[in-house]
């Protein structure tokens, strides 16, 4: 269930799964059930942006201090470089 966290961003992936970024983490809706990731990956961090890399199952999630990538049922975190302050509020493909 989505709960009272409010929605920050939304993504429908290539498998028609909805990814919902909230102020308290990430939720996934497969058309029948909601999944909350609890303490996995970003845990309770606000998810500010979502992006799916084309032709992959890789989901990128922007937060206040870096980016999480979800692939093969696991999260990988990439922090912002030293000296860069700010949140990751948008993610897009580079040409």
Mean pLDDT of successive 10-residue stretches along the chain, which has 95 residues? 75 95 92 87 91 93 94 93 89 85
> Long-range CB contacts (< 8 A, 24+ apart) of 19-28?
19/50, 19/59, 21/46, 21/47, 21/48, 21/49, 21/50, 21/61, 22/46, 22/47, 26/61, 26/70, 27/2
Indicate the pTM of the whole model: 0.88
In angstroms, the CA 53 to CA 67 distance is 13
Q: State the Cα–Cα distance between residues 26 and 47, nearest whole angstrom.
A: 7
pLDDT score, position 5: 67
pLDDT at 17: 95
How far is it, in rounded angstroms, from Cα 74 to Cα 2?
21
């Amino acid at each position: 269930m989505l709960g009272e966290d409010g929605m920050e961003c939304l993504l429908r992936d290539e498998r028609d799964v909805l990814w919902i970024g909230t102020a308290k983490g990430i939720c996934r809706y497969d058309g029948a059930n909601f999944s909350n990731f609890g303490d996995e990956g970003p845990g309770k961090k606000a998810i500010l942006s979502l992006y799916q890399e084309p032709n992959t199952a890789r989901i990128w999630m922007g937060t206040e201090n870096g980016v999480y990538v979800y692939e093969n049922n696991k999260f990988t975190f990439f922090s912002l470089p030293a000296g860069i302050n700010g949140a990751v509020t948008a993610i897009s493909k580079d040409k």
